[in-house]
Amino acid sequence: MQHPLLNIAVRAARRAGDLIVRNVERVGSLDVSTKSRNDFVSEVDRQAEAEITAVIRKAYPQHGILGEEGGRSGGDEFVWIVDPLDGTTNFLHGFPQFSVSIACEHRGRIEVAVVFDPLRSEMFTASRGSGTQLDGRRVRVSRQRTLEGSLIGTGFPYRANIKYAKPYLAMLEVVMGAAAGIRRPGSAALDLAYVAAGRTDGFWEIGLAPWDTAAGTLLITEAGGMIGTLTGARYEQGGNVVAGNPKVYAALLEAIRPHVPEDLESA
């Protein structure tokens, strides 16, 4: 039987996803605001978050919500961490790679997670202790044993993190030299879901937010994978992340470790 919190997360993700898909063809007429340089938010982001919030509030009015657009509101021992449209820049350009990410945390521990790709109608779900599923089918991380031959996802540093471009490029160069391929699709939540489903073998990125990674963290660990900081420390939501199946995770950490800036060693 599916966890009741997960039922609500799935329902909320589908509601947001339906709204997003309805607006794909009218991107040119959407109201878009600039949060900071090259960081955009559309009316669809706000409306999708409102849809998610409405579903959660109806079922659990006492729970807290931490949303990318609305910030923190309400709360008891449960907090829902929400990215209503991860990959807004892709969405606004008609680039078909974006997702809805929803996780529920109880006393600081993620209990259920959903990442929904509304264009492909793919629903990645996990509840603690019950594994990870894609559209109701159990999935696991890949069996790739080495960085050589692997497919690795990443995200480029941008906005405030552009100052780390040089060390990141050094990391990229060493991983490119070993891996079979590198991919940068542009939705970190979906990137982490792909690691969980074995579609990529590993992933790393500098400067993510809690709503980017909360759901993906549980998807990966419940699928048998590992996730940590750039130096392999325990990952707290938000910051810098390395993930993968156990073998590739270790190899990826080893490859990038010499290039991690001192001020990111504990982040």
To which residue do tokens 């940590």 refer?
Answer: 228
Check the CA dihedral 170-143-99-77 and report its sign: negative
The pLDDT of 243-247, averaged and rounded, is 98
pTM, whole model, 2 decimals?
Answer: 0.94
Phi-psi region at 158: left, alpha or beta (left = phi > 0; alpha = psi -120 to 50) = beta
Residue that has been written with the tokens 């391929």 in this structure:
181
The answer to whether residue 243 sits within a structural domain is yes
**Does 145 map to a domain?**
no
Quote the number of domains for the chain. Answer: 2
Q: What is the pLDDT of residue 210?
A: 96
134 plus 169 within the same structural domain: no
Q: Distance between CA atoms of 89 and 41, rounded to whole angstroms?
A: 9
Q: How confident is the model at residue 31 (pLDDT cuts 50, 70, 90)?
A: low
Q: Tell me: do 52 and 174 sit in the same domain.
A: no
Domain end call among 139, 166, 197: 139
Dihedral sign of CA atoms 180, 138, 105, 114 in order: positive
| Nearest one of 239, 149, 108, 132 to 194, comparing CA atoms | 132
Q: Is the domain of 256 the same as that of 174?
A: yes
In a domain, 200, yes or no: yes
Is a pLDDT exceeding 50 seen at residue 40? no
106 and 165 in a common domain: no
Q: Is the pLDDT of residue 37 over 70?
A: no
Phi, psi for residue 244 in degrees, rounded to 5: 165, 180
Domain ranges, residue 176: 151-264
Do 33 and 110 belong to one domain?
yes
- The answer to whether residues 26 and 127 belong to one domain is yes
> Rg of the Cα trace of the chain?
18
- Domain edge (last residue) among 139, 168, 183: 139
User: Is residue 144 included in any domain, yes or no?
Assistant: no
Tokens 């793919």 sit on residue: 122
Identify the domain boundary among 139, 173, 189: 139
Confidence band (pLDDT; 50, 70, 90) for 114?
A: very high
Is residue 105 located within the same domain as residue 204?
A: no
Query: Does 102 share its domain with 164?
Result: no
CB neighbour list of residue 36: distance below 8 Å, 6 or more residues apart: 159
What is residue 38's predicted lDDT score, i.e. its pLDDT?
41
Instruction: Classify residue 109: in a domain, yes or no.
Output: yes
Q: Is there a domain that residue 146 lies in? A: no
Judgement on whether residues 9 and 132 belong to the same structural domain of the protein: yes
Q: Taking the CA of residue 189 as centre, how many other CA atoms within 13 Å lie in the half-sphere pointing to its CB?
A: 31
For residue 235, the 8-state DSSP code is P
Q: How many other CB atoms are found less than 10 A from the CB of residue 14?
A: 18
Overall average pLDDT of the 166-187 stretch? 98
Under the banding of pLDDT at 50, 70 and 90, the label for residue 32 is: low
Task: Determine the Cα–Cα distance for residues 212 and 60; give it in Å rounded to an integer.
Answer: 23
Q: What is the CATH number of the domain that holds 187?
A: 3.40.190.80
Task: State the CATH number of the domain containing residue 115.
Answer: 3.30.540.10
| Claim to verify: residue 169 and residue 110 sit in the same structural domain | no
Q: Are 156 and 65 in the same domain?
A: no
Q: What is the distance between the alpha carbons of residues 10 and 225, in angstroms, rounded to a whole number?
A: 22
In a domain, 161, yes or no: yes
Closest by CA to 155, choosing from 214, 220, 115, 212, is 212
**Average pLDDT in the 18-40 region?**
69
| Mean pLDDT, rounded, of the chain | 93
In a domain? residue 221? yes
Q: What is the mean pLDDT of residues 152-172?
A: 95
pLDDT tens digits for range 180-238? 999 999 999 999 999 999 999 999 999 999 999 999 999 999 999 999 999 999 998 88
Instruction: Say yes or no to pLDDT of 39 above 60.
Output: no
Judgement on whether residues 66 and 108 belong to the same structural domain of the protein: yes
